[in-house]
């Protein structure tokens, strides 16, 4: 149940940051600050000790939500990036505790992972299309 909560909080905070930043035109820093502030106030209050972990996940995902629209053009891709952020957070939850930059690094890796995957799929599709092109033959050209 904890893993599902982490994933849901990550998706929600990533989407909220993305929407505030891009749809409401408030900017990525303001959007991340608002989401982090609200999660820092409410999550520990309602979920106790586990709420502190959820607050950290929300902050991490809000950093990923600061991504530019040209890199993540729609909300569905932001959901995928936020899910990747949650999974990386779960995997790295016991690594480098207290070391600065861990959350930002997880957020950046999540964005880079999705952008790299999209570029890989695009390049693969382009290679397949070029391989399957028909040669012009006689009257069919």
Tens digit of each residue's pLDDT (9 = 90 or more) over 2-49: 999 999 999 999 999 999 999 999 999 999 999 999 999 999 999 999
Sequence ranges of the domains in the chain? 2-130
pTM: 0.85
pLDDT for position 100: 75
Half-sphere exposure of 109 (CA within 13 A, CB side): 15
Would you call 87 helix, strand, or coil by DSSP?
helix
pLDDT for position 85: 97
139 falls in which pLDDT band (50, 70, 90)?
low
CA–CA gap between residue 50 and residue 30 (Å, rounded) = 26
137 falls in which pLDDT band (50, 70, 90)?
low
Is residue 140 predicted with pLDDT exceeding 60? Answer: no
pLDDT for position 97: 72
Residue 98 burial (CB count, 10 A): 5
What's the distance, CA 104 to chain centroid? 11
pLDDT for position 126: 72
Shortest CA distance to 85 belongs to which of 2, 1, 8? 8
Percent of the chain clearing pLDDT 90 (strictly above): 74
Shortest CA distance to 45 belongs to which of 59, 55, 36? 55
70 vs 140 pLDDT, higher one:
70
């Amino acid at each position: 149940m904890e893993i599902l909560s982490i994933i849901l909080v990550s998706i929600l905070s990533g989407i909220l940051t993305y929407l505030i930043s891009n749809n409401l035109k408030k900017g990525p820093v303001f959007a991340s600050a608002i989401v982090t502030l609200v999660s820092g106030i409410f999550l520990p209050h309602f979920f106790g000790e586990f709420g502190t972990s959820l607050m950290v996940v929300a902050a991490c995902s809000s950093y990923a939500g600061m991504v530019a629209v040209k890199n993540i053009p729609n909300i569905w891709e932001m959901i995928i990036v936020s899910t990747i952020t949650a999974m990386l957070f779960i995997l790295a939850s016991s690594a480098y505790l207290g070391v600065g930059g861990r959350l930002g690094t997880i957020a950046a890796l999540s964005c880079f992972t999705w952008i790299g995957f999209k570029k890989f799929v695009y390049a693969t599709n382009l290679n397949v299309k070029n391989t399957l092109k028909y040669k012009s033959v006689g009257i069919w050209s």
